[in-house]
Amino acid sequence: MIEVAVMDVVEILKALGDGTRLRILHLLYKETLCVCDLEAVLNLSQSNASRHLIKLKHAGLIASDKQAQWVYYRVDKTSLERYPFVRELLAKELEQQPHCQKDFVRLTKYQRQGGCCETRVKMEDE
């Protein structure tokens, strides 16, 4: 019989096995964001963003807080303490990836333009 902890690691690895989910997780490691923010910055549909967030949440990698009609997501710090390899991936490996660097630049630009749940900002493809 496989231990529960091993099954947790399997779920985490499955969640990390998708490039879009890695990009989402990298942005959430930087700061708490709403689905709207992720949609705009990563050019995702609402359903696609939600599907990826559900997978990350199911794996225990992210947590959420509801504020009014919006749900804000963040990396679950407890999971980073429990699984240091995830912190290593987010803090070191993904920081060096061009897509992740570009995503963070787009997020910064989006926020400077006033983008948030209440104010939609259309991001131009670069």
Predicted confidence (pLDDT) per residue in 33-62, tens digit: 999 999 999 999 999 999 999 999 999 999
Which CATH number applies to 4-112: 3.40.50.300, 3.10.110.10, 1.10.10.10, 1.10.357.140? Answer: 1.10.10.10
| Overall pTM surpassing 0.85 (yes/no) | yes
Q: Where are the domains of the chain?
A: 4-112
Count Cβ atoms below 10 Å from residue 125 Cβ, excluding itself: 5
Say if residues 38 and 44 touch (Cβ distance below 8 Å).
Answer: yes
What is residue 118's predicted lDDT score, i.e. its pLDDT? Answer: 66
Residue 106 in 3-state DSSP?
Answer: helix
Alpha carbons within 13 angstroms on the beta-carbon side of residue 7 total 5
What is residue 16's predicted lDDT score, i.e. its pLDDT? Answer: 94
